[in-house]
Chain A
Amino acid sequence: MKDNKNTPIWLKASAVYVSSLMSALFVFITVCAFDGLVRSGPSLFGSVWNPEGGQFGIMPMIWASGLLSVSSLVMGWSFSVGCCCFIRGYGPKWMAKLLARILRIMTAIPTVVYGFASVFLLVPLIRNGLGGSGFSWMTASLVLSLLIMPTMVLSMDSAFRTIESETRLTSAALGFTREQNIAMVVLPASKQWMWSSALLGFGRAAGDTLIPTMLAGNAVQYANTPLDAMRTLTAHIGLVLSSDVGGTAYLSLFVAGGILLFVSISANILFRLVRRKSL
């Protein structure tokens, strides 16, 4: 911040450009969301979505978005921590290398591939094995956790790698094995990175549209068991937007979008606060 003088003008200009674009987006969504809020009134916070009947309840969608992103995050994050420990010390070297390579490849796989493969592989498995239609909270959550894993692992692992190489010799001198070093030294030391990777994962999980649209069934109801179908806010926006332009139903989508924006901003702020405290 002190070296402002030396910043090239084009860099400043692009920074101003990007931030003004972002704030324009915020203002646009807020204004439209307010319009939607006024027009659809209290019915917005009911649980019936029936635009023809003037009911625009998006509560089931909010519930579904929350449930799906948190459950995917918990699953994905736990696996990510496991993967990182495996790569940095617990697993045999060749397997660790293989796993790291696979995870790297996974970041490049388009979401639609996960969705499409799951429709033909995972959905029938869940339908025949556990019941229901197979399009459910559980299906979407399993795939979503897989989807957010590579990003989380890669961001966690960059911290793990640095800290591990910094501490390995010292811990070895103290008589720690590699595994003990990971568990006792590296894990606690990279706490803030684990938080920030959870933030990354949460953002992706809450914002993903394709996986819930293709796999969660999209029924407008409160999902109570993992086998129930659900419709997330993102899937809802996608489904209604594909056909409707204008009108109250359309404007109510901005409220849904505004809520998503609000959630991701508060998650960001929250995680930042936590991170600052841990520093």
Chain B
Amino acid sequence: MKRIVVSVMLAIILMASSAVAAPLDVFKGQKGNLDIAGGTAHIPVMKEAAKRIMSVNPDIRITVAGGGSGVGVKQVGEGLVTIGNTGRALKDDEISKYGLVSFAFAIDGVAVVVNPANKVDALTTQQVIDIYAGKIKDWKEIGGEPGAINVFGREDGSGTREVFTEKAINKGELAPSVNVVSSNGAMKTAVAQDKRAIGYVGIGHIDKSVKAPKFDGTVPTQENAANGKYKVTRNLYMNTKGEPQGLTKLFIDYIFSSEGAEITKESGYIPLPAKK
């Protein structure tokens, strides 16, 4: 009896996994290497995609490295990697110098978050700039309950921090007293527990444990980020030298497939459709 139950369960698992693996079918029979480098925000998406592809087809080897957008452009331009990731649109001279083609596949939006018990439900750019510069120190200055503001930020080189500094506080200065956590998860934990905390997370990470006040009058949601109302966003790009061919094209198509979009969403970004 036990054996029957186990084999039925195994059969179900097998069926389920083969159903999920459908978009991966195109990789069957393929062979070769694919090297990816550049933007760090892309890494979770790239890694997960690479893992899934390599587990259906061990003949394909995909490496994923970081380095930042600059490194991504340089390496793909010089032919060191096949896909160079950037967290910004390519500059004109980069396109003309290397003949690069860009594929925007996701929107990375960042929202300022506070504790759900916090009364403040709207913030302006200037207020956030002043809070992170250490000029506004108490919640009562911006209409909250009196109490020192505990400011949380992310570590150097974090993509979330980059978007925040560039788009939310206009490259404003950061006070040395800003506490630093090293992931979206740790940020949520810190803010969820502390009534006087302020921080920022990728929009995809917002849930009931934290509250995202209106930022300059706009509610930071996936929809508002997708339709352009919410400004603290950037696109994530994959870039290739010339039109992608073979395995590279298959990989990019996979990122744009329904399963790829799912991976993008799970990594906390908003998937973009492929440009026709």
Contacts and interface: CB of A to CB of B under 8 A. Distances in A.
A220 interface: yes
Interface in B152-202: 152, 155-158, 176-182, 186, 189-190, 193-194, 196-197
Contacts, number: 69
A220 B177 CA distance: 7
A231 B180 contact: yes
Of A135, A213, A240, most buried by chain B (CB within 10 Å of CB) is: A135
A221 B177 contact: yes
A207 interface: no
Given A51-B156, A127-B194, A135 B176 contact: no
A217 B151 CA distance: 10
Interface in A120-178: 120, 123-124, 127, 131-135
Contacts of A132: 148, 150
Nearest to A213: B182
Interface in A230-246: 231, 238-240, 242-246
Given A220-B176, A231-B180, A249 B156 contact: yes
Interface string B137-156: 00000000000101010011
Interface size class of A (residues with CB under 8 A): 20 to 34
A123 B157 contact: no
A219 B180 contact: yes
A218 B174 CA distance: 14
Contacts of B180: 217-220, 231, 239
Contacts of B148: 131-132
Q: Chain A contact residues: over half helix, strand or loop, or mixed?
A: loop
Contacts of A242: 155, 157, 182
A256 to B, nearest CB: 13
A245 B193 contact: no
Interface string A21-32: 000000000000
Interface in B182-231: 182, 186, 189-190, 193-194, 196-197
A229 B181 contact: no
B44 interface: no
Contacts of A48: 176
B66 interface: yes
Given A213-B182, A240-B155, A133 B197 contact: yes
Nearest to B176: A221
A60 B178 CA distance: 14
Contacts of B66: 243, 245
A81 interface: no
B58 interface: no
A236 to B, nearest CB: 9
B67 interface: yes
B181 A218 contact: yes
A259 interface: no
B179 A219 contact: yes
Contacts of A238: 182
Contacts of A213: 182
B150 to A, nearest CB: 4
Interface of A: 48, 51, 60, 119-120, 123-124, 127, 131-135, 213-214, 217-221, 229, 231, 238-240, 242-246, 249
Given A123-B193, A229-B177, A243-B155, 14 more contacts: A119-B193, A133-B152, A133-B197, A135-B190, A214-B186, A218-B155, A218-B180, A218-B181, A219-B176, A219-B180, A238-B182, A239-B180, A239-B182, A244-B157
16 contacts: A119-B193, A124-B194, A132-B150, A134-B193, A134-B194, A135-B179, A214-B186, A217-B180, A219-B176, A219-B180, A239-B156, A239-B180, A239-B182, A242-B155, A243-B40, A243-B156
